[in-house]
Structure 1
């Protein structure tokens, strides 16, 4: 009888019916990197790369407490078009994320840097932001505590946007509609609304791709070649994270 019990116990242990494998402990922090390219770098609906391709990349550090910091960079052309010298944008950000049941909140600060821009009004910009997420939807407000991207006397400008991400149920693709409004303080002619719809696909192993339709209601932003930087367009992007 004793030998039968030993055999039965051994079988149960082998099948995992008695002792489950313990879960791996949550890491104290994660560090990730990403590189990518887009056919047109659109930010808040406006092309930053003169409707041409851009290379991009970044790094993110997140602690399990909810605090995070990161940096991101992209090639650009708009500063040169405005008479400056910067051909790259470097962003530095940090903040805190947490959840309350089904509701999530994200607060932080973001600094946009354009090294050696040499414009009359510095395009370097600092914004504070707060975002609330419920289900697939996120509402976010960003408030400039400096001049906004080279607009004189524009401190206090704000950007409000609403977006959501849905699983299409087809080939693992997601769809993300978005609408936002940029208010440029004391430069009302530069204020505008933008909207977009993006399809996303995660191929696994860190590789993802996106296809977006982007448009705005403004014709206040032009490149030296006369092209409207806020016109409707389709943007293809690829990204590899590791």
Structure 2
């Protein structure tokens, strides 16, 4: 996950509550244990392990909100990152879309940034799907991410994505995910950012 203002979050939640009062709401939760928290090709934990829990509520109307967290290590007073987000998802034809607003916070320094992201997901073939995402940040920066997923067996898939920001900086990753069952998966991934050493991560995710 990655980078709302409490007042904005509260106002949006109140606005949405009127429209979803009669909607069916579901709760999901889970956690990922990873050998290294890597964002944009850069370690957020000084190459150390991280545990990353999340909780999300969603309505059958397409609205959702949640919190995601992780331990971090920047050799500073910050030890935890927590991200608050709200969004809406739907589809038109064979294309799924999602718009989300995300706020990034740290336990000591507080609010860090926010992001508005628009993502489109679509199937290319029976075994290949793609996603295209545009993000805009509070500081005026932005990025474009293109991702692909290849199903190579019943329980295996290869996933890859490349991100380019407005200044041309690129980072990319590619990995293999193995679904153990409906709730547990294991992921081995290679990360590369422009001008930095490559990083490998091994992660296990458990979802409700």
TM-score normalized with structure 2 length: 0.82
How far off is 1:104 after superposition? 1.2
* Contact in 1 for aligned 2:145/2:163 (Cα 8 Å): yes
* Aligned partner of 1:116 among 108, 112, 116: 108
Aligned to 1:206: 183
- Distance of 1:64 and 1:203 partners within structure 2: 27
Which of 149, 152, 170 is 1:165 aligned to?
149
Pick the structure with more strand per residue: 2
Aligned counterpart for 1:174 among listed residues 150, 153, 157? 157
Residue number in structure 1 paired with 2:201: 235
1:162-196: CA deviation from partner (whole Å, max 9, x where unpaired): 10212112x5101101101134xxxx6xx621111
Instruction: Choose from 110, 117, 128 the match for 1:129.
Output: 117
Alpha-carbon distance in structure 1 between the residues aligned to 2:169 and 2:73: 21
Q: Which residue does 2:95 correspond to in 1?
A: 103
**Could you tell me how far apart the structure 2 residues matched to 1:159 and 1:77 are?**
25
Aligned residue in 1 for 2:7: none
> What is the CA-CA distance between 1:205 and the residue it aligns to?
4.8
C-alpha change, 1:193 and 1:209, in structure 2 (3 Å) is same
Aligned position for 2:134? 141
Q: Which runs of 5+ in 2 are unaligned?
A: 1-22, 124-128
Which residues of 2 match residues 78-93 of structure 1 at below 5 A?
78=74, 81=75, 84-93=76-85
Segments ≥4 residues shifted beyond 6 Å = none
Residue aligned with 2:180, SS: strand
Task: Report the counterpart of residue 126 of structure 2 in structure 1.
Answer: none
Flag the structure with larger Rg: 1
Deviation at 1:105, TM superposition (A): 1.0
Distance 1:123 1:51, change over 3 A: farther
**1:67 aligns with one of 57, 63, 68:** 63
Match of 1:31 among 27, 31, 35: 27
Tell me the C-alpha RMSD between the 2 structures: 1.7
Q: Secondary structure at the match of 2:204?
A: strand
